[in-house]
Structure 1
Amino acid sequence: MKIIEINKENLPERFDIELGVELFTMEVYYNQTGAFFTVDLYQYDNPEPLVLGEKLVLNQPLFRDIEDSRFPAPTLIPIDPSGKESRITWDNFGVTVFLVVDDGDE
């Protein structure tokens, strides 16, 4: 697993990331009213989004309800390696909760 480094102090943050053998662009947001994080996903160099506003839910893979061959092969999942957290919050994101790429290699 690989941690996707996100600086929550700079949100919204847009960056390119290699997932599997493809390059994607991700943008991470924080919704202050609802107190949750979301992700937008684009194929690299394509302005049309694959998905907008995917909510990060602890231990739930992103894009789990979408079947589309354009999406990345590895699983993106927010996890708490310590197992102590029950949800993602501003205070624990990037401290004890991380968005990781699970490509099946341990």
Structure 2
Amino acid sequence: MLQLIELGAEVEYIDIDTSKIPYTFNIKLTDKTYSFTVRYNDVGGFFTIDLSVANTGEVLAYADPVRYGRPMFGPIEDERFPLPVIIPLCLTGDEVDEVTWENFGKQVKLYLYERRSE
């Protein structure tokens, strides 16, 4: 288990409302505004997120699966991704190891972590 958070540190997250799925919303991260489209894949039984640049509509990621503990949009990043690392996690101490209808947006949130430059 990775120790990602120092005790007492405030952690920002992107709020998800599963009652609205499928839906799209805009959020400003660092210096750009992005559009997130949250969907549920009934066949596979998992949530996905599309990521695009809000003002241009340029799609950066399509149907990236929301997997517990795995950074979003990881394998497809390039210079258009100045945003923080986004990781679906549960920080409440509950025993959670997957993203479900019951916990997504409640215990499991899309937490934002500062991107470390190499």
TM-score normalised over the length of structure 2: 0.80
Give the equivalent residue in structure 2 for 1:8. Answer: 18
Q: Which ranges of structure 1 fall in alignment gaps of 5 or more residues?
A: none
The percentage of counterpart residues that share the same residue type is 34
Give the equivalent residue in structure 2 for 1:63. Answer: 73
Larger Cα-atom Rg: 2
Pairwise CA distance, 1:33: 2.1
Pairwise CA distance, 1:73: 2.9
Q: Give the conservation status (yes or no) of the 8 Å contact 1:6–1:13.
A: no
Give the equivalent residue in structure 1 for 2:110. Answer: 99
Pairwise CA distance, 1:28: 0.6
Q: Give the conservation status (yes or no) of the 8 Å contact 1:36–1:56.
A: yes
Q: Which amino acid aligns with 1:58?
A: Y
Q: Take 1:37 and 1:67, find their aligned partners in 2: how far apart are those partners?
A: 20
Q: Which amino acid aligns with 1:93?
A: F
Pairwise CA distance, 1:83: 5.1
Q: Which amino acid aligns with 2:107?
A: T
Q: Take 2:95 and 2:101, find their aligned partners in 1: how far apart are those partners?
A: 15
Give the equivalent residue in structure 2 for 1:77. Answer: 87
What SS is found at the alignment partner of 1:65?
A: helix
Q: Take 2:71 and 2:59, find their aligned partners in 1: how far apart are those partners?
A: 18
Q: How many residues align?
A: 104
What SS is found at the alignment partner of 2:43?
A: coil
Q: Give the conservation status (yes or no) of the 8 Å contact 1:24–1:42.
A: yes
9-18 vs 81-90, which moves further: 81-90
RMSD of the TM alignment (CA)? 1.5
Give the equivalent residue in structure 1 for 2:6. Answer: none
Q: Which ranges of structure 2 fall in alignment gaps of 5 or more residues?
A: 1-10
Give the equivalent residue in structure 2 for 1:51. Answer: 61
